[in-house]
Structure 1
């Protein structure tokens, strides 16, 4: 598989924003829709620059033939009583789903969480009916610890999410 996972750089900002519009239009599993994320290219570039060497936060991109096809963002909590934990989100183009991209991104997230952020627990929220994503997380040892009823509201409908975690 010719996929490379790297930390995102400010130069990736425009491509990331464009990709979020595509992915947002392909799925109702994310916190944004086809309008993408509500930031400008300059704001995204500044964000990526600000976390470029962070030990608590990282943004990764998956590339196939130099084109970004997925992203993953990890944030470790910094408050003293929560500093042992972190959380993440992953986005992958629909055309790339089921091809190992999510696994590669998740592996990178877990390595960063353990080796750089020194987190002990990693958590996530996933739409309760997103079976493919739940299976991916379970494959990596995540366990469901609860359900957040009405986590999203889309077109007047409440959508439940599972809360999952893994000790690393």
Structure 2
């Protein structure tokens, strides 16, 4: 069973192992050979408006998901999502479990109406996963990032809140 909770500083070494997986860092903007110290620093510096979740299976961290609320006042209705799943756990529901929690927080607690992400165009599994949860392709970034010596394209995807909250009438 997959268990989701907020990341803690003591999780840095296990998160480092997730992102040391070659397909995991290749699917993100991470560099190969991440250090534990880098992850400790990232976890120390998480903004109060951001959330970093981890997915655990049998006591081992197998994935992470982040929800990063926009800082600009005119963009506070939006947040970006980033995720990574250990190579040995792809296709086992980890990404879905993380997305369920991230979307619940965005929709039910943070009053976010727009969620955004970028995903490499050749990551068919991730594009399918995001589509399953209501994300739509809004455009393509050509030559978005260098990966293995080649520039690769990425999709810009977004999802709007499916049932935006409504303020009840006062009845006065």
**What is the TM-score with the length of structure 2 in the denominator?**
0.85
Gaps of 5+ in 2: 162-172
Aligned to 1:15: 14
Any idea what the Cα deviations from partners look like across 1:10-68, whole Å, max 9, x if unmatched?
221222123222x2x23421112331269535413423xx55xx3x2100000011100
**Distance (Å, rounded) in 2 between the aligned partners of 1:155 and 1:108:** 32
Q: Which has the larger radius of gyration?
A: 2
RMSD value, Cα: 1.8
**Distance (Å, rounded) in 1 between the aligned partners of 2:126 and 2:106:** 19
Gaps of 5+ in 1: none
Q: Any conservation in 1 of the 2:13–2:36 contact (CA below 8 Å)?
A: no
Does 1:26 pair with 2:27?
no
Does 1:98 pair with 2:98?
no
- Say how many residue pairs are matched: 160
Q: Any conservation in 2 of the 1:76–1:113 contact (CA below 8 Å)?
A: no
Q: Any conservation in 2 of the 1:58–1:73 contact (CA below 8 Å)?
A: yes
Runs ≥4 residues deviating over 4 A: none
Does 1:6 pair with 2:5?
yes
SS of equivalent to 1:40 = helix
SS of equivalent to 2:131 = helix
